[in-house]
Amino acid sequence: MKFQVKVWRQKNRQDAGRFETYTVEDVIPEMSFLEMLDLLNEQLLKRDESPIEFDSDCREGICGTCGLVVDGMAHGPKRACTTCELRMRNFSEDKTIVVEPFRAHGFPVIKDLVVDREAFDRIIAAGGYTSVNTGSAPEANALLIPKDIAEKAMDSAACIGCGACVAACPNASASLFVSAKITQFSLLPQGAAERKRRAVRMVEQMDREGFGNCSNHAECEAACPKSISIENIAVMRREYMKGALAGA
């Protein structure tokens, strides 16, 4: 297979950036999107051209570092799928594929398709943790948690922090990411120690990072590779109100 790929190229944070169009040959339908970019980089290096910078790590849909906007959609056109899980058989050879980085004030472009997502780390540091010293691993049944509650907590904990929710949101809101982390801890007894202040600190840090407000477009849920529900945002708002009233 042969594809035309229009890729965003940007030397550094100060560079204005521009799109460059390349032809990628010898693409196998079973290749992942990142493997196609690997192939393109090999062809660029053979021509003594600068390779395209992009993030990747596990390439198994777990780490969340492979965030790209493909044809205007965070992670690409396939639902509940990371960029590294996207296969080239999902694309038609007669159309140019447009690839660009996540666009958000909180995600400044470092180079080409690589963005700085340290803002998420700072939000987690503000309250997305538990400080209870649990010691060694307890007996599995030592803390009795109803199955439905445990499953809801796991559904929220499935968030991989990729940032697709931010890229998809017209307001560049990080509400889905933040709310998933808040909900995860609010449902479990281990999260009780910081509960009153967790939501307040994380939401305030999210605002300081320059992310926008949620206006219920639900684009975040549609783009999320782990299908995190926007119901978490309602939980975040309730937790924030409780914390604010408690003076956290």
State yes or no: pLDDT of 123 exceeds 70. yes
pLDDT at 31 over 90: yes
* pLDDT band for position 190 (cuts 50, 70, 90): confident
In this structure, the answer to whether residues 131 and 210 fall within a common structural domain is yes
**Residue 105: its pLDDT value, please?**
95
User: Do 179 and 62 have their domain in common?
Assistant: no
| Secondary structure of residue 36 in the 3-state scheme | helix
Asked whether residue 10 falls in the same domain as residue 106, the answer is: yes
Q: Pick the last residue of a domain from 79, 111, 143.
A: 111
pLDDT digits (tens, 9 = 90+) for 4-18: 999 999 999 999 999
Domain extent for 127: 117-245
Say whether 101 sits in a helix, a strand or coil. Answer: coil
Q: Are residue 126 and residue 62 in the same domain, yes or no?
A: no
Q: Give just the sign of the alpha carbon dihedral 157, 163, 164, 168.
A: positive
Residue 141 pLDDT exceeds 80 = no
Instruction: Using alpha carbons, list the distances in angstroms from residue 152 to 28, 87, 145, 205, 233.
Output: 39, 30, 11, 25, 14
As a whole number, mean pLDDT of residues 31-48 equals: 97
Same domain, 80 and 143: no
Q: Which of 111, 137, 171 is the last residue of a domain?
A: 111
Helix (H, G, I), strand (E, B) or coil at 245: helix
- CATH number at 203 reads 1.10.1060.10
Q: What is the pLDDT of residue 140?
A: 66
Question: Are 29 and 132 in a shared domain?
Answer: no
Same domain assignment for residues 198 and 125: yes
Cα–Cα distance, 21 to 99 (Å, whole number):
10
Is 212 found in the same domain as 141?
yes
Q: Which two tokens stand for residue 193?
A: 């120690």
Instruction: Give the other-Cβ count within 10 Å of 167's Cβ.
Output: 24
Q: Which of 68, 63, 182 lies closest to 130, judged by CA? A: 182
- Tell me the average pLDDT of the chain: 95
Q: What is the CATH number of the domain that holds 47?
A: 3.10.20.30
Per DSSP, the three-state class of 96 is coil
> Which stretches within 158-194 are classed as H helix?
164-168, 175-186
| Same structural domain, 224 and 176 | yes
Higher-confidence position of 139 and 60: 60
- Mark whether 122 and 149 lie in a shared domain: yes
C-alpha to C-alpha distance for 246 and 235, rounded to whole angstroms: 16
Total number of domains constituting the chain = 2
Ranges of beta strands (E only) in the chain are 3-9, 18-24, 69-70, 73-74, 97-100, 109-111, 114-115
Both 161 and 91 in one domain: the answer is no
State pLDDT tens for residues 153-177: 999 999 999 999 999 999 999 999 9
- Domain boundary (111, 140, 169) is at 111
164 and 96 belong to one structural domain: no
